[in-house]
């Protein structure tokens, strides 16, 4: 049973986008449009090329931002503020998920490749404000993104968590490789599983998986 495999966990680490809300809410679609628009304006390229760069940098560097910083030395703060200026009304509160997160023993934190101000707005829209002991964004990792191990090490050192007594919930399977190597329990939250040695569990729905850990049905 999953619950037995998590009895040692004292810190629960949650990704944000498409993890603490379902991908069907399509919040990230807005961000992708704004990222493409930003690349077009900043680099003076057409939409097709900007879309290509956005996707290519995400694949090569972990995030579009990391690619833009490496290749074009852009200002990360201005970029993050612009691309996250979106409509949060597509999100809805989830009191059942909130109750199940609250029932987890120990500390609960959010760690996202977005920035912390955006994360707090997502949590508010989902009715999850006040449930987490800390919220970490890419700025807390020196703008290094997941899946880089150094990004995890920086944030985990800041939080003073013990990875061998922690679990990570994440929608991007590649972002679970470093946590697994550091001794964390890993849970892939996505519509379809991606079998890999660094993924311990898969769940299509975070709330349902947490119900199996907390006994909250």
pLDDT at 1: 58
Give the domain ranges of the chain. Answer: 2-21+91-214, 27-83
Q: How far apart are CA 171 and CA 190, in angstroms?
A: 5
CA angle, residues 212, 172, 71, in degrees to nearest 5: 160
Percent pLDDT > 70 in the chain is 100
Range 27-83 has CATH code 1.10.150.120: no
CA angle, residues 201, 195, 18, in degrees to nearest 5: 60
Q: How far apart are CA 42 and CA 55, in angstroms?
A: 16
Q: What is the pLDDT of residues 177-190, one digit of tens each?
A: 999 999 999 999 99
pLDDT at 175: 97
CATH of domain 2-21+91-214: 3.40.50.1000
Q: What is the pLDDT of residues 40-95, one digit of tens each?
A: 999 999 999 999 999 999 889 988 999 999 999 999 999 999 999 999 999 999 99
**Average pLDDT over every residue of 185-207:** 96
pLDDT at 217 over 80: no
């Amino acid at each position: 049973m999953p619950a037995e495999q998590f009895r040692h966990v004292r810190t629960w680490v949650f990704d944000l986008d498409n993890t603490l809300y379902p991908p069907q809410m399509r919040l990230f679609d807005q961000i992708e449009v704004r990222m493409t628009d930003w690349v077009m304006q900043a680099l003076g390229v057409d939409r097709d090329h900007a879309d290509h760069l956005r996707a290519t940098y995400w694949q090569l560097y972990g995030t579009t931002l990391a690619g833009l910083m490496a290749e074009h030395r852009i200002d990360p703060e201005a970029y993050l503020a612009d691309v996250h200026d979106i409509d949060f009304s597509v999100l809805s509160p989830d009191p059942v998920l909130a109750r199940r997160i609250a029932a987890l023993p120990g500390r609960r934190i959010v760690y996202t490749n977005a920035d912390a101000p955006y994360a707090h707005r997502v949590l508010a829209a989902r009715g999850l404000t006040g449930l987490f002991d800390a919220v970490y964004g890419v700025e807390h990792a020196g703008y290094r993104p997941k899946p880089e191990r150094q990004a995890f090490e920086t944030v985990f050192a800041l939080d003073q968590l013990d990875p061998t007594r922690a679990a990570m919930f994440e929608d991007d399977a590649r972002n679970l490789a470093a946590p697994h190597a550091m001794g964390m329990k890993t849970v892939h939250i996505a519509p379809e599983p991606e079998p890999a040695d660094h993924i311990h569990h898969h769940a299509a729905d975070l709330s349902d998986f947490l119900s199996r850990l907390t006994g909250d049905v």
